[in-house]
Structure 1
Amino acid sequence: MKKHYEHQEIEAQMQALWKELNIYKFDPDSKAPIYSIDTPPPTVSGSLHIGHIFSYAQGEMIARYKRMRGYNIFYPFGFDDNGLPTERLVERESQILAKDLTRSEFTLKCIDTTQKYESEFKALWQSLGFSVDWTLQYETINPTSQRISQRSFIDLYEKGKAYHKDSPVLWCTECQTSIAQAELESTEKSTLFNTIIFKTTEGEALEIATTRPELLYATTALFIHPDDRRHAKHIGKTAIVPLYNYEIPIIADETVQIEKGSGIVMCATFGDITDLEWYEKYDLPYRKVIMNDGTISPETPFIGGLPLKRGRQLIITLLKENGLLTNSDNIKHHVSVHERCGTPIEIIPSKQWYIDILTEKDRFLKAADQINWYPAHMKKRYLNWVENLKWDWCISRQRYFGVPFPVWYCEACGEPKLADESQLPVNPLESNPISPCTCGCNTFIPETAVLDTWATSSVTPQINALWGEKSKRIRPDQTSAELTLQRDPLMPMSMRTQAHEIIRTWAFYTIVKSLYHTGEIPWKDIMICGFVLAKKGEKISKSKNNATLSPQALIQTHSADVIRYWAATAKLGTDTFFSEDELGSAKRFINKLWNASKFSISHLGDFSLENEMKLLPVDKWIIERCKETMLLAQKHLDQYELGLARHEIDLLFWRDFCDYYLEIVKERLYKPEKHGVPERAGAQYALYISLLMMLKLYAIFTPHITEYIYQIFYKDREQFEALHQMKWCEITLLKDKYLIFGDTLKTAIAEVRRYKSENALSMKSEIDEVIIGSPSEIQDLFFESKMDIIACCNTKRLIVNSRPITL
């Protein structure tokens, strides 16, 4: 072994080896139980950052663990390359606007851009040593994904779960598209809280405070809490809208916040969701003010045609000039914005496609109990989201680069006409239905909207299993016990890995789609990863411009294994901070593993299982400690707790193996003439077995260095071509007496080291005697270990339980 681990050369070699051996390919003919992973297809919206590496690497480590536990791993990878995020990337990079090009021209630009980024993404994942079966790769815009997505829509329509409706919808005026409730974020903004004077038809003045004076022309009612003693006398009367002088009713409603503003609230169409609720509850009229592009409707007196902010300023000026504004206070309040661009959301009537979710909330809540949540408390986030849903899922987007709705509308009767299965994937702008409408008309108008990108990425389990496709992942003639348990051996999938901020979108939508399509949950387990934070409370993201260290540069400088080791530090689901300094401990580990392996292998050149050997108690202890650690690691990893598992393995490696075992057996390895040749062979055997077990334990975290060490020494001695083809041992029983012996021995040696340190003695200094108190049932093990202990402590005399032991 070289003096130093040269990661830039070695990691590329190991990746080439794995590719050559094809060891990560899913085997459809295997009789081993299948472990299938639903991995989030990263959105093609720009470069990846260290936060992506953190969460994706954790999922990949579980794939490696399950493979080494004997599972047939189905580990596909996809790219979410359609929809608004990709469009905005293309517009930004190409300095164009989608609306200025034909859809076909813009689509071509999107495809070119996504292919470039997907190649970069794939190269990054491969450079991290991801054990993905790349033959299973998919893109959400490719023909198969489009066909499955469109099939999903048709299935929902036929089941009465997808419907078309003209009604108020959440709308982003920047992106100029409808959005779903899950795409809202709440942010604090500064604004003016304006107090405006309304009057009743009887001439009584009413003060109403609002942050949206530009919606004055859209006011349709005033609301007062029925228990508000100050204003209850006005309930049932009529008010006059200032400046516009039309009459509106004054209505009692218990949702009014008495303490907010004057306690009287104006309802405008639409300032917020409460306005919409009142509009529907009291059958109020709709008065149009806000246009789709964020300008004021031309029909609005005084401010028509102006941008929203300028319209607001002008109305405030007019109110002041007419003595109708009594106060304007600067306040901070929370506003719902579009998560993609940060623009405050408007509510605008529009005809959109929806998926019914409100009528099935109980079903979605019960589904959570059928899924194993890791960590368990993340289940509460899901439940809170479902319990607080207020809107059906709007799935149509007035954009360009996406999966088309497989729908036309009859020109005669207006009824939707869905594509035939044989037409999928279909673009209604470029083709026609293959049969006439039920009314007999053969002329159709194509749907121009595209599906929300979540409407496609929510069927990743179906895409992975080729749901509804003629070709299947696994041939039906397979008869293993695992395959006979369910209709499709890949559904439900074994595990979904994802970050916690998309529980409300990706997790929820996938559960909805799976229940509607198959009646089953989409996966058995869900593994929720945390965020990487740049500073307290701030997630690393492209939008915040705090992702300055590119993963490629970090890998090139520090190595993929260093990044991976760091990514396995935190407890599952918890957020962690990142700076380059955080990689220091990982780099020290890589150096320590290299040096410890180099020392061990240097003493194993003449080792053979055919040699006569005698294992001393310390040899049996380190082997038992490896077994114990493997059991502890399995326990944590079965709960997806990578950080806790790595901690247990680190304790074994740093403390027990390096700090104690290697120091205890060092003289026995160097001086067989003193300790005995069979005794040296026993130490060699323990070194061989324990190092190999530790390589297997660390293989899931740091696959490159562990594989390389295996290749240069173990490959010719074991039956596997690669470490990652090996399995973790099946351990049923531990020999506790050797574990007790080891703990007692470590305590004794630690006391000797402390004594020498406190007395300014070298660790090599000889001392007169070492006294060990041992449980009676293991004292014989100390007698057997006398030469190891005397050599390690460099003592003249050893006393165990008052019994002197001499050489």
Structure 2
Amino acid sequence: MELEIQEIWRREKLYRFDAESDRPKFSIDTPPPYASGRWHVAAAMHYAEIDMIARTMRMRGYEVYFPWGIDRNGLPVEVETEKRHGIKMFEYPREEFIELCRRFLDDAEEDITRIAVRLGLSADFENVFRTDSELWRTVTQATFIRAWERGLIYEDYRPNNYCPRCRTTLADAEIEYKELKSLLVYVKFGVEGEDSHVVVATTRPELLPACACVIYNPKDERYKWLRGRRVITPLGKAVPVMEHPYADPGFGTGLVMVCSYGDRADVQLFHELDLEPTIVVDEEGRMNEAAGKYAGMTMEEAREAIVRDLREQGLVVRVEEIMHRTPVCWRCKTPIEIVPMREYYMKQMEFLKEIREMALKQMRFHPDWSVQYLLDWISGIDTDWPISRRRYYATEIPIWYCRSCGRPVLPPPGRYYRPWAEDPPFEECPHCGSREGFVGEERVFDTWFDSSISPLVYNGYMWDERLYSSLGGPSDLRPQGKDIVRTWLYYTLLRVYHETGGPAFRHVWISGMGLDERGRAMHKSLGNVIYPWPLLQRYGADAIRFAGAAEAHHGSDFRISVARIEGAFKFLQKVWNVARFVSSFPYPEEAPRLTPTDLWILGEFNETVRSAARGYEDFDFFVPATASRRFVWDVFAPHYIELCKGRAYGEGGSEEQRAAWWTLHTVLRGVLRLLAPIVPHITDFLWRKLYDGSVHRETLPEPVAEWDTEYLELGRKVMEFNSTVWKIKKERGLPLSSSISIEIPEELSPFREDLIRLHRIRQ
């Protein structure tokens, strides 16, 4: 059924965006999924809910622009390519490695897109955007050139996060923290001028050659006697002892060696204490000449060698194994180092206030409390964004350097440049006039530098001004997970503000994480990953979509299990069976005179519509999903259908029969429209079988004032009465179709005839 209806959608081009439409436009900044591996079911549910937004807005009267893109740049792609082929990027010819990346990406992209299509996403799969395309990279480079011209880019030599395995600089947003086992080594430091020593505990003994001072907390009375003195490191270097509140009296011995650089705290301490750094780690993550006999070793090798040497000299007091909060590379999970390097930076520090104000005043967050994720990240930013990377598969930095004066020269924007592989589009240096040639930049951009302009590229910025104008600028909505607020969301706000001077979007929709049934994140190492293809084959797309929507309020983490998806499938079977029953009766063209029972169920449906509308307004699909399920499963099917069944089959008068027919169809039509954004296949299939056109060309139902009557509350008492009668029959061992003698409460007299027929009440 689902594949059949999808083919109809494709044939009718049902979701094609019409830029010339008079309807108000609504554009979605679709997260381009990373083509670095297989999707699991949590990702599938996430994108299904984004599709629900698109479908909701269409049914609210908008012309929806729902582009589809694939993120094909950066570290994840390179790491997966290295794993697949058993190679190391820097030991492989650059052009050949890039080609291997492309082949891997094509395979991964195909599977992701097939899943998205099978889920029923109404995105534009005929015009796929790719972040490694010439179009996207052209716009990326153009925005960089414009930022350079505005003085927003500069180069500097400073300590940076560095991944030894990936051999590149990382921004703070690309750092994760993990509790890893580490050795806390207690080492003797001599006291200058005395035949005594103090003990310093460190997790980074390999940085002893870079030790610049030792600190203790000003409140730690144990070490006041060291103030103003110097201690001798095990390598023979005299360093000062200073007071600083960073030292934790409860960790180790309370004495902390400050080295260049163990972590970001060391960088800050060197700045505050005006210390002179000794750099002992090179750009390949190995010890350099300043490390003496340990030069050429990896950090791990140097750590083992130094501890071994110190033990032999009797300078190790003891070694403890501890769990240490360690910064690691976001992709390969290698512990990072702090290595001074020359990199390009984009200014952000002076714009943080403006971005914060935009988030609070010009954008609506869904849920509203999720804005705090962004505000918390902004409050912790303390340096500009390092945007250059020493990798291969990413957009190249469009710069050439004059062979004579060495100064950078940028080309005009408008096409995609590869400086490492091609000559510049100019012959003379504008700085010194030399015509001796140029050297192309070999570095590339941080992958977020590309993906952060998605609301511009999608909407035609710099490549289709007509489309960009039709959509009114950047996107209306950014849907994304909370795990990339600090990267994709924040960097997009920064980049679009730099480029346009305004906000990147009006709405920000932040989703929670999909967890397994025990509340754990899905990881291969845990063996708890659920892949979508088997579920799609067994239960279909709509069951997966409904299970994701009905599990938790938007923004909250939600649990996923096969049992939950099976439960959603059973609900859809209920909808199918209800529709099959209703389809056995004609749909009267005009509304007949309705009975109290009919007005009651229509009033119940009004309440369901009001509840669902609040959810649709806030893009919280838990609300319409659960409201619709409760209405169909707990009210419409077990109570109203049973109450009106006799009339529908002609046991009452013809007017009452037609009232039952009309009400059954009216409610079913409303339910199908109400569920259409969430479960688009079954609703459209049934609509096309029973009514004209597609349910996706309809509008969401709205409450009808005439259906708000006093019968609403009475109808709920009818349900209580029904439950009581069914319970009595069960206790007496009677079939539900058997007759029974029971008094109908006077207040339920408007429903008397329907109750008598339903329960076979003897009078």
- When normalised by structure 2's length, the TM-score is 0.95
Letter in 1 for 2:589: L
Letter in 2 for 1:538: R
Q: Which residue does 2:727 correspond to in 1?
A: 754
Q: Which residue does 1:472 correspond to in 2?
A: 466
Letter in 2 for 1:631: R
Q: Which residue does 1:441 correspond to in 2?
A: 434
Instruction: Report if the CA contact (8 A) 1:151-1:421 is conserved.
Output: yes
Q: Which residue does 1:5 correspond to in 2?
A: none
SS at match of 2:405: coil
Q: Alpha-carbon deviation of 1:548?
A: 4.2
Instruction: Report if the CA contact (8 A) 1:566-1:582 is conserved.
Output: yes
Instruction: Report if the CA contact (8 A) 1:710-1:722 is conserved.
Output: yes
CA distance in 2, matches of 1:723, 1:59: 19
Q: Alpha-carbon deviation of 1:91?
A: 1.8
Instruction: Report if the CA contact (8 A) 2:367-2:510 is conserved.
Output: yes
CA pair 642-470 structure 1, distance change in 2 beyond 3 A = closer
Instruction: Report if the CA contact (8 A) 1:465-1:472 is conserved.
Output: no
CA distance in 2, matches of 1:735, 1:490: 42
Letter in 2 for 1:579: S
CA distance in 2, matches of 1:537, 1:419: 52
The structure 1 residue matched to 2:532, chosen from 551, 557, 565, is 551
Could you list the per-position Cα deviations for residues 77-119 of structure 1 after superposition, in whole angstroms to 9, with x for gaps in the alignment? 1110011111112222233322233222222222222122212
Q: Which residue does 1:402 correspond to in 2?
A: 394
Q: Which residue does 1:164 correspond to in 2?
A: 155
The structure 2 residue matched to 1:596, chosen from 547, 559, 578, is 578
Q: Which residue does 2:449 correspond to in 1?
A: 455
The structure 1 residue matched to 2:342, chosen from 343, 351, 354, is 351
The structure 2 residue matched to 1:74, chosen from 62, 65, 69, is 65
Instruction: Report if the CA contact (8 A) 1:224-1:235 is conserved.
Output: no
What 5-or-longer segments of structure 2 have no aligned partner? none
Alignment of 1:587-626 (within 5 A): 587-604=569-586, 607-609=587-589, 613-626=592-605
Q: Which residue does 2:633 correspond to in 1?
A: 654
Q: Alpha-carbon deviation of 1:695?
A: 1.0
Instruction: Report if the CA contact (8 A) 1:613-1:680 is conserved.
Output: no
CA distance in 2, matches of 1:538, 1:651: 28
Could you list the per-position Cα deviations for residues 181-214 of structure 1 after superposition, in whole angstroms to 9, with x for gaps in the alignment? 0111111111221111112321242211101111
CA distance in 1, matches of 2:448, 2:663: 53
Structure 1: 4+ residue segments shifted above 6 A: none
Instruction: Report if the CA contact (8 A) 2:624-2:674 is conserved.
Output: no
CA pair 769-241 structure 1, distance change in 2 beyond 3 A = closer
Instruction: Report if the CA contact (8 A) 2:142-2:414 is conserved.
Output: no
Instruction: Report if the CA contact (8 A) 1:496-1:523 is conserved.
Output: yes
SS at match of 2:318: strand
After the TM superposition, which of the residue ranges 642-651 and 90-99 deviates more from structure 2? 90-99
**Aligned residues with identical type, % of pairs:** 29
Could you list the per-position Cα deviations for residues 433-492 of structure 1 after superposition, in whole angstroms to 9, with x for gaps in the alignment? 425232223432211111111111111101112223354315x6xxxxxx6xxxx6142x
Residue 562 in structure 1 maps to residue 553 in structure 2? no
Letter in 2 for 1:272: D
CA distance in 1, matches of 2:755, 2:399: 81
Q: Which residue does 2:4 correspond to in 1?
A: 13
CA distance in 1, matches of 2:495, 2:504: 8
Residue 743 in structure 1 maps to residue 708 in structure 2? no
Could you list the per-position Cα deviations for residues 101-142 of structure 1 after superposition, in whole angstroms to 9, with x for gaps in the alignment? 322222222222212221221111111111112244211111
Residue 578 in structure 1 maps to residue 560 in structure 2? yes
Instruction: Report if the CA contact (8 A) 2:138-2:414 is conserved.
Output: no
CA pair 472-99 structure 1, distance change in 2 beyond 3 A = farther
Q: Alpha-carbon deviation of 1:41?
A: 0.7
Q: Which residue does 1:789 correspond to in 2?
A: 755
CA distance in 2, matches of 1:545, 1:297: 39
Letter in 1 for 2:446: D
Alignment of 1:483-494 (within 5 A): 489-491=472-474, 493-494=475-476
Instruction: Report if the CA contact (8 A) 1:37-1:494 is conserved.
Output: yes
Q: Alpha-carbon deviation of 1:536?
A: 4.1
Letter in 1 for 2:745: I
Instruction: Report if the CA contact (8 A) 1:98-1:106 is conserved.
Output: yes
Letter in 1 for 2:472: P
SS at match of 1:332: strand
CA distance in 2, matches of 1:397, 1:352: 8
CA pair 322-714 structure 1, distance change in 2 beyond 3 A = same
Q: Which residue does 2:490 correspond to in 1?
A: 508
Q: Which residue does 1:766 correspond to in 2?
A: 739
Q: Which residue does 2:520 correspond to in 1?
A: 538
Q: Alpha-carbon deviation of 1:428?
A: 4.9
Q: Alpha-carbon deviation of 1:663?
A: 0.1
Q: Which residue does 1:115 correspond to in 2?
A: 106
Q: Which residue does 1:713 correspond to in 2?
A: 690
Residue 389 in structure 1 maps to residue 381 in structure 2? yes
The structure 2 residue matched to 1:685, chosen from 662, 665, 689, is 662
Q: Which residue does 2:169 correspond to in 1?
A: 178
Residue 276 in structure 1 maps to residue 267 in structure 2? yes
Q: Which residue does 1:192 correspond to in 2?
A: 183
Q: Alpha-carbon deviation of 1:741?
A: 3.5
SS at match of 1:295: coil
CA distance in 2, matches of 1:287, 1:275: 12
CA distance in 2, matches of 1:541, 1:157: 41
The structure 2 residue matched to 1:221, chosen from 202, 205, 213, is 213
CA distance in 1, matches of 2:73, 2:345: 19
Instruction: Report if the CA contact (8 A) 1:60-1:130 is conserved.
Output: yes
CA pair 737-265 structure 1, distance change in 2 beyond 3 A = same
Instruction: Report if the CA contact (8 A) 1:200-1:206 is conserved.
Output: yes
Residue 373 in structure 1 maps to residue 355 in structure 2? no
Letter in 2 for 1:340: R
CA distance in 2, matches of 1:123, 1:365: 38
Q: Which residue does 1:699 correspond to in 2?
A: 676
Instruction: Report if the CA contact (8 A) 1:221-1:249 is conserved.
Output: yes
Q: Alpha-carbon deviation of 1:752?
A: 2.1
Could you list the per-position Cα deviations for residues 142-165 of structure 1 after superposition, in whole angstroms to 9, with x for gaps in the alignment? 111111111221222222222211
Letter in 2 for 1:369: L
Q: Which residue does 2:93 correspond to in 1?
A: 102
CA distance in 2, matches of 1:579, 1:115: 30
Q: Which residue does 2:254 correspond to in 1?
A: 263
Q: Which residue does 1:724 correspond to in 2?
A: 696
CA distance in 1, matches of 2:216, 2:672: 71
Letter in 1 for 2:698: M
- When normalised by structure 1's length, the TM-score is 0.90
SS at match of 1:399: coil
SS at match of 1:473: helix
Q: Alpha-carbon deviation of 1:393?
A: 1.6
Letter in 2 for 1:643: F
Q: Alpha-carbon deviation of 1:256?
A: 2.2
After the TM superposition, which of the residue ranges 85-94 and 434-443 deviates more from structure 2? 434-443
Q: Alpha-carbon deviation of 1:336?
A: 0.7
Q: Which residue does 2:132 correspond to in 1?
A: 141
Q: Alpha-carbon deviation of 1:363?
A: 2.2
CA pair 581-437 structure 1, distance change in 2 beyond 3 A = same
Give the aligned CA root-mean-square deviation in angstroms: 2.0
CA distance in 2, matches of 1:213, 1:402: 36
After the TM superposition, which of the residue ranges 288-297 and 145-154 deviates more from structure 2? 288-297
After the TM superposition, which of the residue ranges 524-533 and 303-312 deviates more from structure 2? 303-312
Letter in 2 for 1:34: K
Letter in 2 for 1:597: A
Q: Alpha-carbon deviation of 1:344?
A: 0.6
Q: Which residue does 2:405 correspond to in 1?
A: 413
The structure 1 residue matched to 2:77, chosen from 68, 71, 86, is 86
